[in-house]
Copies of this chain bind each other. A is one copy, B any other.
Amino acid sequence: MAEQTFTIKQAAEQTGISEDTIRFYEKIMLLPQAERKENGHRVYRKEDIYRIKLISCLKKTGMPLEAMRPFLAASADNASAEYPELVDQLRSHRENIVNQISSLQQIVDFIDIKLEEGRPRKASSDQSQDEVLEDHKEIEQIKPISVVEMSYFPAYAKMDKLPTGRLTEE
């Protein structure tokens, strides 16, 4: 049952990352050297596709490619998280991401307020626009300091179940 393989084009289609970009990632070694067919064409397997998707996912979060390396190392190497250096980096990334989530959450709140505000005859509002703005002031009060503390969810707890269910096998 030969494992399914893909061309670079298919990989691009599946991941939403262009062929050029995939080659570029290989060049800068964000991706390992792809296997080749006899004719020199690159061959991708599902793990490779996965890795590209992971990069894409990280990219969307605004993470620079360089910052992804430890991440991808952890992804690729099963035992990787044992290296203290790597563990630190992962922790640090985690913190950043949690911060980002909270920034994003605040923006969602902000948008919701704006949308609500723009709905003229809802009338129920007890918030004046000034108050709303005032609220937003807090956005940054909170942020400069580690948002981890404001814990949208227990940082270290078993994070089995979180609002946006996923990752748990379906």
Contacts and interface: CB of A to CB of B under 8 A. Distances in A.
Nearest to A140: B53
Contact of A50 (B50, B137, B169): B137
A92 to B, nearest CB: 7
Q: Tell me how many chains of this kind the complex includes.
A: 2
Given A104-B100, A105-B101, A133 B50 contact: yes
Interface string A90-134: 111110111111111111111110110111100000000100110
17 contacts: A15-B148, A50-B133, A53-B148, A56-B147, A60-B150, A62-B62, A62-B157, A64-B158, A79-B129, A81-B117, A90-B114, A94-B112, A94-B115, A100-B104, A105-B164, A142-B170, A143-B166
Interface of A: 14-16, 46-47, 50, 53-54, 56-64, 67, 71, 74-75, 78-82, 86-87, 90-94, 96-112, 114-115, 117-120, 129, 132-133, 135-144, 147-151, 155-159, 162, 164, 166-167, 169-170
